[in-house]
Structure 1
Amino acid sequence: MKKFIAIAAAAMVGAAAQAQETVVWWDFLGGGDGVRMKQMIADFNDAHAGEIVIDGTTLDWGVPFYTKVQTSVAVGEAPDIMTYHASRIPLAVDQGLLQELTPADFDAMGLGQDDFAPSIWDAVSADGKQYGVPIDTHPIVLYYNKDILGEAGLLTDDGLPVGLGSRAEFTATLQALKDNSDVTFPLGSVTADGNFMFRTIYSLMGQQDGELMTDGAFLVGDNATKLENALAVLQEWTNEGLQSTYTDYPATVALFTSGEAVMMINGVWEVPTMVDLEAEGNLFEWGAVELPVIFDHASTYSDSHVFAIPEGNDMSPEKRAAVLEVMSWISKNSLFWATAGHIPANNNITAMDAYKAMEPNATYSSLTANMIYDPKTPMAGVAGPIFDVMSTYFVPTLNGEMEPSEAVEEIIYELNDM
C-alpha cells in the first residue's frame, strides 16, 4: 500500500511538472488590429497546446486601460502580460508599474538590441533598463488617391504624389488639386482633434530638429519658433481651403474613402480599412507613403505597441518562462501583424521577402530611419498631460481662429507651469 501511494505521489508530481501554464493577458487593441491579435493568440495557443495557453482580455483604449493597470498593480491583481505604449513607459516606471526585462530575459527570448531599430529599442528603455518588448512601430503616413492624382498629372513615374520634397512643392500640389478638380479638399486632416494632430505637428517640428523638451524645460531657445512654424504651415493650408476644417477622425476617413479628399494624413492602422474596401470593389487605387518633407529633412512621429510585465506578480520560474515565450513567439511571427498596417519592430520580419512584397507597407517602412518618439518624461505619452495641454490650442490655431504665436506662448506657459 505504501509503495502504491509513493508511486501515485510521484505521478502527481510528474503531472504537475508538465502542467499547462496559463498566461493572463490584457490588451487595448480594438478594430482591425484587435481582430489580428486575437488570431495571433489563437495561433499561439494552437502551437503550444498542452504547454501554454493565453487567456486574453481586451479593455478600453487610453486612460481607462492605464487606470485599470495602475489599480490592478496596487491590489495585486495585475495580468501576467499586457500591451503598452512605448510613450507611456517613463510614467509607468515612475509609478512603479513595470518589471524590468533583464539581459537574461532577452537571451531566453532569443531577442536583443540588434533585432530592433535604435529609436525603437531606446523607446522601451528608461535609466539604462529595458521595460518592454516592442511589437511594432505605428507612425502616421500620407494616404493618396492614385486615380485623381494621375488624372491631374500629379503622380511621378514611381506612382507617388508629386511634390513630396518641400513645402513649396507640396503646397503647389495641393493648390493644383483645388484649382483643377472637383474634390472637396485636397488634404484630409483630423483638425477637430488636437490630440491626434499632435502627431503631425510634432513630425513637422522634428523636420526642423526641434525638441519639445530640453533638460526638463519645454520649448526652450528656438524650439518655440519651430513649433510656431509647424502650426503656421498647417493653418495656411486650412485658410486656403487646401486642408479640411474642423474634421473629426471618422469624418476624415470618410472624406478620403469617398474621394472627397485626395490625400489624408492618418495612422498606418487605417491600412486594413483601405485593403478591405478595395477587396470589396468599393475603393479607388490608393497608396501610402512617408510624410512630405515640409522643412529641412524627413521626420515622422511614431509610437510603439510593446509587451510589458506589470509589477506585483510573484511569478514562478515556469510562469515567467511562459510569458517570455509569448513575447518571443509573437515578435518572431509578427509578419501577420503587419497586415494591420503596423511596421513590425523586429528587423528580421521587415527583412523578409514576404514583407518586402507587402504594399503599401514596404513603401512606407523606410521611414523607420526618420522616426521620433515622445520626449522621455512622465508627462508625455498617449493620453498624457502634454497631449491635453497642447491639443487645447492646436484646434483653434489649425482652424484659423488663433495666431500660431499666441498659441505657442500659451502652450509654453502651461507646459512649464506643470
Structure 2
Amino acid sequence: MKKFLSVAMLSSVALLAIGAAQAKETVVWWDFLGGGDGVRMKALIERFNAEHADTIEIQGTTLEWGTPFYSKVQTSAAVGEGPDVMTYHLSRIPLGVESGALAEINPDDLASVGLTADKFATSNWEAAQVDGKQYAVPFDIHSIILYYNKDKLAEAGLLGEDGKPIGLDGVDNFTAALEKLKPGSEYAVSLQTSGDGTPWRVFYSLFNQQDGVFLSDDGTFLPDDSIPKAVKAVETMANWVEQGYAPAQTEYENSVALFTSGAAALHINGVWEVPTMTDLAAKGELGFEWGAVMLPTFFDHPATWADSHSFAIPNNAGKEQTPEKKAAVLEVISWMNKNSLAWADAGHIPAYTPVRESEEFKTMEPNATYSILADTAVFDPRSTLAGVASPVYDAVANYISPAVNGELEPQEAIEEMKADLQDQAD
C-alpha cells in the first residue's frame, strides 16, 4: 500500500510538473525592424522574456521591411501560418483589413491590460481603426523633424539663448533663414529630393498645414479646392532646390551624409535618425553640436506627417487563438507600451501617454522637445492605396519628386498625380 501511495504521489508530482511546463505560452512574433530599431527591439524582447521566464516566451523573427513583409503576412495569414503578434505600420491598416490579413482586437480585451483610448493621442488611436473597429495598438509616433547644426545657426543669428532655432516659421521667414545659412554651407538644408519617402512626408506636412484634403469622404483624391494647396506645397519644396538651398536629385543616404559631414546646416528627416546623430556625437565623429525640433509651421498652423509602428494580430485562417494565447499576446502588447521609454531611445515618441508624459521622458532630448508634434500629427490618408510602400508613395516618386527637381510644373504634377490615383481607386 505504501509503495502504491508513493508511486501515486510521484505520478501526481510528474503531472504537476508537466502541467507547469505546458502553462508557459510561446508567442510567435514577427517584425521588420533593422538597424538601431532592431537592436533596441531585440533588447526589449530579451527583457520581456527575462521578466516572464516562467509564463511567456517571445520567439522573435525579423523579416524584410516594406512590401515583402506585408506580402508575407497576407499569404501566411490566409493559410493559418502567420505569427501570434507582429509589428505593423498604422498607415497600412486599411489595406490589411481589406485583404483579410488582420484580426479585430476587442476593446474589452485591451482594457483588461490597461490599453484604452484615453491612454493615446486621439489621432494615433483612431489611425489603428477601420469603421470604428480596432485592428492594432500604436507603439510609437514617428514623424519628420528638423535637425540643425547649432554652430552654423549661431553664426547666422538663428539660434536662441535656449539653443533652439529662431525665425524659421512662415515660408518667407524660412526662405530668409536659408539665405542667411547658404554662404556658410554647401547647402542650407539637406533632404531626400528623389524617390518617395521624405518628399511625401514633407509634401503631406505642408499640405496639411493649409488644411488640404488629400482624400475626401466620397473617395475623391485631391478635390478641386485642395489642388491649389497641394501646388503651393510643391512650389515651396521646388524653390528650395531651384535656389540652391537644397540638393537636387539626392537619395536618402546622401541627404543624411550632407548633414552629418557639416555640408548642410539643416536637415529634414525622420526621428529614426536621432540614434545616428547621437552615436556619431558620442564617438566624436560629428564635429558640431546638433539639435532637433518639430518641423516649422510654414503655413496656417502646425501639422506634421506621422506614422506609427503598432502591434497587430494576423487573422490566421482556421487558427483561432486560445484564451491562454490571447492573454499572452495582450500581455506582450501591454508590456511593450508600458516599457516604451527604451524604444524612445531610437528617436521615437512613445504612443502610450503615461510614458510620453513621464518625468523620465521629459528629460530625454531631443525627443522631449519635438514630442509636442504628437498633438498635431497627421497620419496618411485612410485608403488601401496609401501607406508605406503604396501606390501613393509611387505617385510621389513619379510626379512630386520630378516637380521638386524642376522636371515638371507643380500644377501639372498634382493634376497627373490626382488622375493616376483616381484611376486606381475607381
- Classify the TM-score, shorter chain: over 0.9
The equivalent of 1:87 in structure 2 is 91
Give the Cα separation in 1 of the matches to 2:321 and 2:284: 50
The equivalent of 1:255 in structure 2 is 258
Letter in 1 for 2:44: M
The equivalent of 2:408 in structure 1 is 402
Give the Cα separation in 2 of the matches to 1:269 and 1:35: 13
The equivalent of 1:206 in structure 2 is 208
Letter in 1 for 2:197: N
State the percentage of identical aligned residues. Answer: 53
Q: Deviations over 1:149-206 (max 9, x none)?
A: 112222122222232221110100001111x31x110000100122331010000000
Q: 2:170 aligns with which of 166, 169, 193?
A: 166
RMSD: 1.5
Q: 1:138 aligns with which of 131, 142, 155?
A: 142
Give the Cα separation in 2 of the matches to 1:158 and 1:191: 31
Q: Deviations over 1:217-274 (max 9, x none)?
A: 1011221111100000110110000111111011011000000011000000000000
Matched, 1:358 2:360: no
Asked if the contact 1:195/1:388 (under 8 Å) is kept, the reply is: no
Q: Deviations over 1:74-116 (max 9, x none)?
A: 1211000100000100111111111111122112211101100
Give unpaired runs (5+ residues) of structure 1.
Answer: none
Segment of structure 1 superposing worse, 276-285 or 335-344: 276-285
Matched, 1:267 2:270: yes
Asked if the contact 1:300/1:371 (under 8 Å) is kept, the reply is: yes
Distance 1:319 1:17, change over 3 A: farther
Asked if the contact 2:400/2:414 (under 8 Å) is kept, the reply is: no
Give the Cα separation in 2 of the matches to 1:8 and 1:92: 49
Number of aligned residue pairs: give it. 416
1:408, distance to aligned residue in structure 2 (A): 1.0
Give the Cα separation in 1 of the matches to 2:239 and 2:115: 46
Give the Cα separation in 1 of the matches to 2:95 and 2:48: 31
Give the Cα separation in 1 of the matches to 2:310 and 2:224: 33
Q: Please give the secondary structure, in 1, of the residue aligned with 2:179.
A: helix
Give the Cα separation in 2 of the matches to 1:131 and 1:95: 13
Q: Deviations over 1:43-89 (max 9, x none)?
A: 00000112111100000000000010011111211000100000100
Give the Cα separation in 2 of the matches to 1:245 and 1:288: 23
Give the Cα separation in 2 of the matches to 1:241 and 1:103: 51
Distance 1:49 1:154, change over 3 A: same
Give the Cα separation in 1 of the matches to 2:226 and 2:163: 35
Matched, 1:370 2:349: no
Give the Cα separation in 2 of the matches to 1:394 and 1:99: 35
The equivalent of 2:349 in structure 1 is 343
Q: 2:29 aligns with which of 1, 8, 25?
A: 25
TM-score, length-normalised on structure 1?
Answer: 0.97
Give the Cα separation in 2 of the matches to 1:210 and 1:11: 67
Q: Please give the secondary structure, in 2, of the residue aligned with 1:288.
A: strand
Give the Cα separation in 1 of the matches to 2:264 and 2:37: 25
Asked if the contact 2:195/2:396 (under 8 Å) is kept, the reply is: no
Q: 2:191 aligns with which of 175, 181, 189?
A: 189
Query: What pairs up with 1:52-91 in 2 under 5 angstroms?
Result: 52-91=56-95
Letter in 1 for 2:198: F
Asked if the contact 2:199/2:396 (under 8 Å) is kept, the reply is: no
1:9, distance to aligned residue in structure 2 (A): 5.8
1:396, distance to aligned residue in structure 2 (A): 1.1
Asked if the contact 1:167/1:294 (under 8 Å) is kept, the reply is: yes
1:391, distance to aligned residue in structure 2 (A): 2.1
Give unpaired runs (5+ residues) of structure 2.
Answer: none
